[in-house]
Amino acid sequence: MQIYEELVARGLIAQVTNEEEIREMINNGKATFYIGFDCTADSLTAGHFMALTLMKRLQMAGNKPIALIGGGTTMIGDPSGRTDMRKMLTREDIDHNAECFRRQMERFIDFSEGKALMVNNADWLLDLNYVELLREVGACFSVNNMLRAECYKQRMEKGLSFFEFNYMIMQSYDFYYLFQHYNCNMQFGGDDQWSNMLGGTELIRKKLGKDAHAMTITLLTDSQGKKMGKTAGNAVWLDPNKTSPFDFYQYWRNVDDADVMKCIRMLTFLPLDKIDEMSHWEGSQLNTAKEILAYELTQMVHGEEEAKKAQDAAKALFAGGANTADMPTTTLTAESFTDGKIGVIDMLMAAKLCATRSEARRLIQQGGVFCGDDKVASVDATVDESVFGADGLIVKKGKKTYHKFLKA
Count Cβ atoms below 10 Å from residue 331 Cβ, excluding itself: 13
pLDDT tens digits, 49-72: 889 999 999 999 999 999 999 888
Output the CA angle 219-300-192, nearest 5 degrees: 15
All structural domains of the chain, each given as residue ranges with its CATH number in brackets, are 3-217 (3.40.50.620), 253-318 (1.10.240.10), 329-407 (3.10.290.10)
- Collapsing DSSP states into helix, strand and coil, what is residue 375? strand
pLDDT tens digits, 125-160: 988 998 998 888 888 888 878 777 766 776 677 777
Q: What is the pLDDT of residue 143?
A: 81
Q: What is the pLDDT of residue 79?
A: 45
Residue type at 382? T
Output the CA angle 249-11-43, nearest 5 degrees: 40
Q: What is the pLDDT of residue 231?
A: 35
Cα-atom radius of gyration of the chain, to the nearest Å? 24
Q: What is the largest CA-CA distance in the chain?
A: 77
What DSSP designation does 140 have? Answer: G
What distance in Å separates the CA atoms of residue 298 and residue 302, rounded to the nearest whole number? 6
- Collapsing DSSP states into helix, strand and coil, what is residue 240? coil
Q: What is the pLDDT of residue 323?
A: 60
Provide the whole-model pTM.
0.78
Do strands 117-120 and 64-70 pair parallel, antiparallel, or not at all (unpaired)?
parallel
Mean pLDDT of the chain: 87
Residue type at 54? L
Q: What is the pLDDT of residue 12?
A: 95
**Distances from the Cα of 64 to the Cα of 2, 14, 34, 109, angstroms:** 16, 21, 9, 10
Residues in the chain predicted with pLDDT less than 70, given as ranges, are: 76-88, 150-151, 154-155, 222-224, 226-234, 318-324
Measure CA 138 to chain center: 32
Alpha-helical runs (H) found in 193-343:
194-208, 245-253, 257-267, 272-278, 284-302, 304-318
- Collapsing DSSP states into helix, strand and coil, what is residue 302? helix
Are the CB atoms for 33 and 66 separated by under 8 Å? Answer: yes
- Choose among 22, 34, 92, 88: nearest CA to 59: 34
Adjacency order of strands within the sheet including 117-120? 13-16, 213-217, 186-190, 32-38, 64-70, 117-120
Q: What is the pLDDT of residue 321?
A: 54
Q: What is the pLDDT of residue 82?
A: 44
CB-facing half-sphere around the CA of 170: CA atoms within 13 A: 30
Say which residues have a Cβ less than 8 Å from residue 129's Cβ, sequence separation at least 6: none
Say which residues have a Cβ less than 8 Å from residue 408's Cβ, sequence separation at least 6: 331, 332, 333, 334
What distance in Å separates the CA atoms of residue 58 and residue 337, rounded to the nearest whole number? 54
What distance in Å separates the CA atoms of residue 107 and residue 11, rounded to the nearest whole number? 24
Count Cβ atoms below 10 Å from residue 324 Cβ, excluding itself: 18
Are the CB atoms for 176 and 207 separated by under 8 Å? Answer: yes
